[in-house]
Structure 1
Amino acid sequence: MLSAATLLLLPLALAAPTQPPEETFIVKMKDGLIKAEAVNGVLSSLGVDPRFTYEHAFSGFAATLKPDMVKTLLANPDIEFVEKDGKVSIYETQSGADWGLARLSSQKPNATTYSYDDSAGEGTCAFILDTGIDASNEEFEGRAKFLANFADKDDTDGHGHGTHVAGTIGSKTYGVAKKASLFGVKVLDAQGSGDNSAVIKGMDLIAKEASKQKCPKGIVVNMSLGGSKSASVNAAAARIVQAGLFLAVAAGNDGADASRYSPASEPLACTVGATTRTDTLAKYSNTGSIVDVLAPGSNITSTWLNSKTKSISGTSMASPHVAGIAAYFLGTGQKVEGLCEYIAKQALKQSVTGVPKDTVNLLIHNGYQKGSDRS
């Protein structure tokens, strides 16, 4: 993040005397301004065309700027900050086998049945910021829609990661909330990578479009992606939650402190670490005090492209378990306010081994009592 006080910290390349490079920056306007007018005024004064404009996640834009333009923006009292665009990617690791869904309704590991209330997230909507979604997959039963693309020119899931995540949230066989409506917002390309500016545009769209969908029981958002800590990504994530949506985010796969990553470091998001089928913290999972809950993440089987399935691992797989259980709880009548705390309250305590002292030992559980089991 850049401010007038930190201008001297800009890379030396920005001060090159000949043909200074142009780079993409994310610009956030101060709150309280008339959004469209403020953004348009700044863009007009710079004489640039934006890559994206933001109105709902926050007021601002992303554009390719020369160093002198950055200096001009830093001197503008209407600008809160200017941040260089950064890279984000999926949090996926190796392949394996299935077990995670049954763990959500069992008191012990190695269960083979998933028991749940048959409301199953009906009346809820899940927005998935990812590589897209293969909405034609029969596992989605017509409840899935590819909503928008900010990553490339291919309006399909060219990778499979987004379809896998969506399947964990709400597919008929592998989903936690089997009756939820699913909306894919593509912000990552076929290699599973993208830019902060595109991710923020995806959040901006969700903040705008969510209320237009038929979601009487509530809305959840999942972000199984991340990159280095970013003030702009965190600001947009916070606004999503403040707008009344539940946001689950992956903690990250570097075995490091999740507070160094975004959106994992945003306090208002529900940040999720990953466990294995033996109730051990996954070695790759990021940790730290910012993590809210733990969820199955290793060797998770879910939907894939062309109506196939695949087993993959990562905090990318843990986060949609939490988004799914959030939709499930909303479907039973819980409110979105305080929902991450409610999920933590329902979780199994001290059941995971290998958890460091600065990280919660809370393994998510749906709290379902057997009697009219579904599986």
Structure 2
Amino acid sequence: MRSSVLLGLLPLAAATPFRRAPLLTRDNAEEGKYIIVMNQGVQTSSISSVVQSISAEADHVYNAIGGFAASLTEKEVETLRNDPNVAYIQQNGKASIFATQQNAPWGLARLSNRQPGSTTYTYNENAGDGVCVYVVDTGIDVKHPEFEGRATWVATVFGDVNEDDHGHGTHCAGTVGGKTFGVSKKSKLFAIKAFDASGDGSDASMIAGMEKVIEDAPTRECPNGVVVSMSFGGDKSEAALVDAGFFGAVAAGNGDVFGRPLDAGTVSPASEESLCTVGATDKNDKTAYFTNYGKVVDIFGPGVDVLSAKPGNGSQTMSGTSMATPHIAGLGAYFLSQGTPAKGLCEHLQSISLKGVITAVHNSTVNYLAQNGEAA
């Protein structure tokens, strides 16, 4: 019966006008790479003939399904679209497997689950690949095994030792890209020390740190972009980072000297609107008692009792919007590595966040809790 139906359709098929093969686009497509799928019934010899007609060798030939993968020029794509043997051409998109980390720190787990309390972190194994993350802080213990050789010391912007003798910067770097504690476990980490062993700096040292990022980044291999994680900052120099095409995450701040929250719009660098300003929550999705608030706060991330790396091959817990910020910097690297542009990335994080789940949020502040988009 099936054969008779097919035979009955042959005259109709013969009368059907020729239609160019469609070109299917993909997110995260590899430039110049395509998959060519032939019409059903096309002989292997015909596939070989088409392969021989292009300038590059085929990356793969699919005899079973009828087609091949290859690098093509735009002219070759158009020529093949006019070949009656070709069913369609598809851009070759990048694909990645996903991993699940068991017994993950609560902050990591919160990024990939819709409900609090989970201990698993589901993430793209290639997260952060090709992205350079600058941590402007107290430095990074670049030899810490947590960083697997992916951490590099760039500069100390004042006369001080080239090591993290405080611990804050190493902790932040661990949250961004550590193998155990990190959001984006393949990112490259770069240390710029702008604060001393007491955690003190100056406007001059902070601005110098920003300048160093802008000077150094073009000398590095960062094919998928640059992220700057700033738990502190000064004046309006941070806007230059965004002008350079970088994604910047910055802490909203931890209130006044008594720990009483302030309007983040009065605090630099959180007041710089071109940056992604981060408030802090605890493991129960309540705003941290110290977190600043206001219309300049863009998103919230885990910031209370966050476990991460400690200089000397150790680990420790810390709290602060400084701890929430590297979660967002890590997410910046996560999505840059998947092809999301830096411009509009903060808005993208807002769009995929959990909305309305945070309690005790100031009425002038958004209720957006960060996610990596992998929650089931």
Partner of 2:239: 238
Partner of 2:183: 176
> For the residues of structure 1 that align with 2:141 and 2:333, how far apart are their CA atoms?
20
- Asked if the contact 1:222/1:320 (under 8 Å) is kept, the reply is yes
- For 1:311-326, list aligned pairs within 5 A: 311-326=317-332
Aligned with 1:224 (options 212, 231, 236): 231
Partner of 2:302: 296
CA-CA distance at 1:357 after TM superposition? 1.1
> How many residue pairs are counted as aligned between the two chains?
268
> For the residues of structure 1 that align with 2:270 and 2:236, how far apart are their CA atoms?
12
1:350 aligns with 2:356: yes
CA-CA distance at 1:321 after TM superposition? 0.2
Q: Which amino acid aligns with 1:252?
A: G
CA-CA distance at 1:152 after TM superposition? 3.3
Aligned with 2:272 (options 262, 266, 278): 266
Partner of 2:340: 334
> For the residues of structure 1 that align with 2:159 and 2:319, how far apart are their CA atoms?
25
What do residues 25-67 of structure 1 show as CA deviations (whole Å, max 9, x unaligned)?
A: xxxxxxxxxxxxxxxxxxxxxxxxxxxxxxxxxxxxxxxxxxx
Partner of 1:63: none
CA-CA distance at 1:153 after TM superposition? 2.0
1:126 aligns with 2:127: no
CA-CA distance at 1:149 after TM superposition? 0.1
Name the SS for the 1:139 alignment partner. Answer: helix
Largest Rg, 1 or 2: 2
> For the residues of structure 2 that align with 1:234 and 1:360, how far apart are their CA atoms?
24
What do residues 109-145 of structure 1 show as CA deviations (whole Å, max 9, x unaligned)?
A: 0110000111111110100000001000001000001
Segments of 5+ residues of structure 1 without an aligned counterpart are: 1-96, 227-232, 371-375
Partner of 2:207: 200
CA-CA distance at 1:369 after TM superposition? 4.9
1:310 aligns with 2:316: yes
CA-CA distance at 1:208 after TM superposition? 1.3
Partner of 1:247: 248
What do residues 215-273 of structure 1 show as CA deviations (whole Å, max 9, x unaligned)?
A: 101110011125xxxxxx34210011011000000000011111111111000011000
- Asked if the contact 1:234/1:265 (under 8 Å) is kept, the reply is no
> For the residues of structure 2 that align with 1:151 and 1:178, how far apart are their CA atoms?
30
1:361 aligns with 2:367: yes
What do residues 337-358 of structure 1 show as CA deviations (whole Å, max 9, x unaligned)?
A: 1101111111100010000110
CA-CA distance at 1:276 after TM superposition? 0.3
> For the residues of structure 2 that align with 1:208 and 1:152, how far apart are their CA atoms?
19
Aligned with 1:140 (options 136, 141, 147): 147
Query: Over the residues paired in the alignment, what is the CA RMSD in angstroms?
Result: 1.2
TM-score by length of 1: 0.70
> For the residues of structure 1 that align with 2:359 and 2:322, how far apart are their CA atoms?
20
Q: Which amino acid aligns with 2:242?
A: V
Segments of 5+ residues of structure 2 without an aligned counterpart are: 1-103, 256-260
Aligned with 2:284 (options 242, 258, 278): 278
Larger RCO of the pair (alpha carbons < 8 Å, separation 6+): 1
What do residues 282-312 of structure 1 show as CA deviations (whole Å, max 9, x unaligned)?
A: 0100000010000000000000010100001
> For the residues of structure 1 that align with 2:254 and 2:181, how far apart are their CA atoms?
23
| Consecutive aligned runs of 4 or more in structure 1 exceeding 4 Å deviation | none
Name the SS for the 1:116 alignment partner. Answer: strand
TM-score by length of 2: 0.70
What do residues 175-232 of structure 1 show as CA deviations (whole Å, max 9, x unaligned)?
A: 0000000000000000001001111011111111112111101110011125xxxxxx
